[in-house]
Structure formats: C-alpha cells, structure tokens
Amino acid sequence: MMKEEKFNHLKTLFEDEDEDEEKIIKATEGIEALLDLIGEDKDREGLQDTPYRFLKAFAEYTQGYKIDPKTYLETQFEAESHDVVVVRDIPFESACEHHLARFHGVAHVAYIPSEKITGLSKFPRMINGYARRLQVQERLTAQVADAIYDVLNPEACAVVIEASHSCMTARGAMAHGSSTKTFAVRGDKNLLDYLK
C-alpha cells in the first residue's frame, strides 16, 4: 500500500478532489496488476514505489491538460516590420495516444506578422503545452499552426514537426532511426521554404 504522503502528493499533482480518491487507488491497482501480468513481484524492493513513480511521471507527461496553450501567445507587442519570423529546433516530448509510448522531436515555426508579434519564448511554451497531452503528431502540428494563426492573426504561418516515435522504433516495426515529418500552413503565403 502506498504511503499517505505519496498518495496526497498524487492528489495534488492530479488536482484530484477528495471524493475522487478512488481514481488514484484504481490507477495504482492497475499498475500493480500490470506488473503482476508480466510476472513481476510488485513487492520487490525496486518495484515497491513504481506505481507512485509512474503516476507522478504520468502527471508530468500530461500537464498540458491543465492549461490552454494558446494563451501563451496572448503576450503581444506591436510589429515594427512585416518580415518573416522563424523559430527553429524547438524540442518537445509527447505521448502517442494509441500506445501511450513516448515520441519526441523538434518543431519549427514561421510567420509573417500583420500587426502583432509575441515573445520568442512563447512558442516553446505553447508547443509543449499541446505536446504534454496524449497526441498524434498530425494533430499536434495542426494545433500549433491554428494557435499561431488564431491568436497572432499573421498574414501567414507554417509549422513543421519532426519526431521519432517509440511506438514505431521500440516495438512493432522496430524501425530504428526512422522519423516522421508533418507540415501545416495557414494563410495566403506558403512559408515552408523558410523551414527547410
């Protein structure tokens, strides 16, 4: 059984109300059952705190559900020019919604400001807000492009995401070294050439 301070820590991480404590108990029991299913001893020294550690990590992996990521882009400044802005190689981590397997990579964004710009640090925050949910790369790419287009109202924007998916490299096809690239373009101009 999980110690009370660890249980209370999980309640805080998941912002769980007292009447929903049963969800944490069921999740803990589910992880213990999974360990049992593969033939492990959940009471072995190295596994005694695994349900707690897993749930703690899972809360961090999915913290994007607690925010509206596009709000990061609401910090804006007057655009002094209407030239292309490019932010490249923004790292992110996410989880595939089909297997709960991790995928990671980089995002590149480009936009042509109309009236407003945002701080460059807002792009990684926004991208990681969407990435820290159960995702598919195609949706993640579209969400980032839509947020930029809807909130900053640029003349155009483009997003390219390149990622390696452990659901494809560590299981199934075992396609080590493979990567996936997705593209999204919004507005009247195709900015993908800036992201190559």
- So which residues are the catalytic ones? 96-99, 137, 165, 167
Tokens of residue 57, six digits: 């990590």
Query: Crossing angle for the helix pair 50-61 and 21-37, nearest 10 degrees?
Result: 120
The candidate with the shortest Cα–Cα distance to 159, out of 145, 146, 147, is 145
Amino acid at 24: I
Buried-exposed string 180-194: b where 16+ CB fall within 10 A, e elsewhere:
eebbbbbbebebeeb
Tell me the Ramachandran region of residue 102: left when phi exceeds 0, alpha when psi lies from -120 to 50, beta otherwise.
Answer: beta
First to last CA, the chain: 52
Contact 123, 106 (CB under 8 A): no
Q: Collapsing DSSP states into helix, strand and coil, what is residue 50?
A: helix
Which helix (H) or strand (E) segment is 86 a member of?
strand 85-96
Sequence length of the chain is 196
